[in-house]
Amino acid sequence: MNYNLFNNEPIFTLENGIGLLLAILIIFDLKVENNIADLLNTPLGMVISLLVFILFLIYMNPIVAILFIIYLYETIQLSSTMNPQKRNNNLVKMNEPMDSLLEEKIVQQKAPIKNKNKNDNVSFKPFEENNLNMYPY
């Protein structure tokens, strides 16, 4: 039972450096530029990010890969909600107003005529022959 408390492995390795960098980026909520975030939000960017995530899982500590996927999720979420004006323009393009349909045109033409401002002085008072539970008006 010979335990070596001081092993000869270096403390600062590439894995530790990347993990520390990702942890700092996540904790202090530091974001990349909008151009890079928009690039990561494209299908090609997501495929490349998935490949990097798999490489992190294979060649590095899984904690580094988990930190990477957390930071990537926050960045993509920020990119999709960052510019509501751009998002609104895209939604307007996808949902262009439709022309009125034939049914709508016919209903507008054949709708009943409303008598506006005619016989405004008409009053209505309900009448019941048996005034059992009613007070007289």
- What's residue 52's pLDDT? 95
- What's residue 27's pLDDT? 94
- What's residue 62's pLDDT? 92
DSSP, res 117: T
Nearest-angstrom CA–CA distance, 75 and 40: 8
Nearest-angstrom CA–CA distance, 92 and 113: 36
- Number of helices followed by number of strands (H, E) in the chain: 6, 0
- What's residue 106's pLDDT? 81
Nearest-angstrom CA–CA distance, 87 and 95: 12
- What is the pLDDT tens value at each position of the chain, 137 positions in all? 556 666 777 888 999 999 999 999 999 999 888 888 888 988 999 999 999 999 999 999 899 999 999 999 998 887 776 567 777 887 788 887 777 777 778 877 877 666 656 666 667 676 666 656 655 55
Cα end-to-end span (Å), the chain: 105
- What's residue 118's pLDDT? 65
- What's residue 37's pLDDT? 87
pTM of the predicted protein model: 0.57
Are 40 and 46 spatial neighbours (Cβ–Cβ below 8 Å)? Answer: yes
